[in-house]
Amino acid sequence: MGKVKNEPMAIDFSLRFIPEKLTPLYFTSVYQSLTSSQRLRYNQLHACYFCEQIIFFEQRLGRPVLTELIKKAPSDELKHLMSRFLQEENEHSAMFRRLLSLSAPDFYSKTDFFFIHPHKIWDKVLSWVVHRPRIFPMLIWLQLLQEERAMHFSKCFLAEGEILEPEYLASQKKHLSDEIDHIKWDHELIDWLWPSTPLWLRKVNAKIFCWMVVEFFYTPKRAAVLVAEHLVQEFPELETLLPQMRNEIMELSEDPIFLRSLYSDEIVPNSYKRLKCYPEFAKLTTLLPEFKYV
């Protein structure tokens, strides 16, 4: 991937930043009560949160995991692969940081995260875990699942390219082009790490993996509600609708249509196929749509 260009970009605030179907409020009844301008602004705010998620995942999880694994790589070829992987993840984060700083400079002048606020205890636990990928190889499974999902989301951007903000579309085109290789490399890392992990530790890792997917990478929770709350700050006339927004966002955890928009055989086929090869992940049958361990 080439260096991020230094020339200034212009963000077109008259356009959506992200496909509507990638925003949780779109799946609620209260969404129909919003005006077109309110829907547009919600879309833009959620797109900022969407970019934050990518940066958080790549920098707080992917970067330390790859950095540690490079030290332990069993071959120069794998070390080179992971070094390139790490470089591209850092470049992605820089690309999305720049996009955020242009979209909402008041939000991101001093931080990468306006909507994401991990609890201090869990943040410390995560920091400890990601620096020990040989003990927690489930981190590579998590990386595979999320990067394949990100690739699907990028394709959703491309499918609506004519009506989306050009800079957001361009960032997703680049993200997609690199994620194809990243998924292939994740498979290589799994082939190295998972079979060499004792069965008892694989079972422990699988339980942690299932918990992390549900807690951090599944149904909307704290940050998704913060996006709605900020929308109300910008449109005070929506104050009476805020309780309904909160409730309906949280109720999406029981909405099968919404859940299938996050994970399914169509969205993460390679991850599902690989996970089904190991009985320690059988619990995912009760957690993820269309995942059937046989």
Residue 52: name the closest of 87, 104, 129, 120 by CA. 104
Q: What is the mean pLDDT of residues 274-286?
A: 94
> Does some domain include residue 7?
no
> Does some domain include residue 13?
no
The reply to whether the predicted model has a pTM over 0.85 is yes
- The predicted pLDDT at position 120 comes to 85
The domain in which residue 34 lies consists of 20-286
How many domains does the structure of the chain reveal? 1
Average pLDDT score, the chain: 92
pLDDT band at 26 (very low <50, low <70, confident <90, very high): very high
- The CATH number covering residue 175 comes to 1.10.620.20
Of 222 and 199, which is predicted with more confidence? 199
What's the pLDDT tens digit per position in 136-165? 999 999 999 999 999 999 999 999 988 999
Whole-number Å distance between alpha carbons of 294 and 291: 10
Identity (one letter) of the amino acid at 25?
L
The DSSP code for 28 is S
- The predicted pLDDT at position 218 comes to 86
> Does some domain include residue 110?
yes
- The predicted pLDDT at position 3 comes to 40
- The predicted pLDDT at position 214 comes to 87
What's the pLDDT tens digit per position in 241-272? 999 999 999 999 999 999 999 999 999 999 99
> Does some domain include residue 83?
yes
β-sheet bridge partners, residue 164: 16
Of 155 and 216, which is predicted with more confidence? 155
> Does some domain include residue 11?
no
Whole-number Å distance between alpha carbons of 90 and 110: 18
> Does some domain include residue 8?
no
